[in-house]
Amino acid sequence: MPLPAISRLRPHSIRIALLTAVAVVLFAASGVYAKQPSKVVVKESESAALGRTVLTTNQGRTLYSLSVETHGKFICTGSCLASWKPLMVPKGVKPKGPVKLGTVSRPDGKTQVTFQGRPLYSFNGDVKPGEANGEGLKDVGTWHAAKVAKASAPPAPAPETPYPY
């Protein structure tokens, strides 16, 4: 006895449904692996006050780190945050700048920008761009401007001798 027309189409319909489901899963997974959005949040600037190149906010405010804040250990919390403003980015945003930056999750769950593994902050005592009034302040640790190493210049060529032989 021949099968009704609907029964013969059923395996084909199942294949289409399965292929559609696989396509939807692959499309959704591609979003997971999509490039993470990024945002330029720091620049470097010559600090006349410190005589060296430091990291600053995009508005020119000197960025600092606290000597005892390493490996995700936060000391600047609570009342400390009245003077020191963490440099933050939205969750999922990769911070960019002239140097390699990272992020760390603060105790409140927000994302703070790091440089060389240390969280970055601006200081409320710096009123104008370029000021570095927070340099060397001591609390439970010492605050230092985020110093950028200058690229070393190529060595100067050796002078030629008047007697080549």
Ordered mean pLDDT values, 10 residues apiece, the chain (165 residues): 54 64 54 72 95 96 96 92 97 96 96 96 96 94 92 53 56
The pLDDT score that the predictor gives to residue 65 is 97
pTM of the model: 0.71
> pLDDT at position 71, please?
83
Sign of CA dihedral 64, 73, 70, 94: negative
Round to whole Å and give the CA distance between 129 and 131.
6
Residue 91 burial by Cβ neighbours in a 10 Å radius (0-12, 13-18, 19+): exposed
pLDDT given at position 139? 86
Q: Which residue has the tokens 């990272």?
A: 102
Amino acid in the structure at residue 134: G
Neighbouring residues of 140: CB distance < 8 A, sequence distance ≥ 6: 66, 68, 75
Q: pLDDT value at position 149?
A: 82
pLDDT of the residue at 18: 57
What's residue 97's pLDDT? Answer: 96
Domain borders along the chain are: 38-145
For residue 72, what pLDDT is reported? 87
Distance CA 34, CA 57 (A): 27
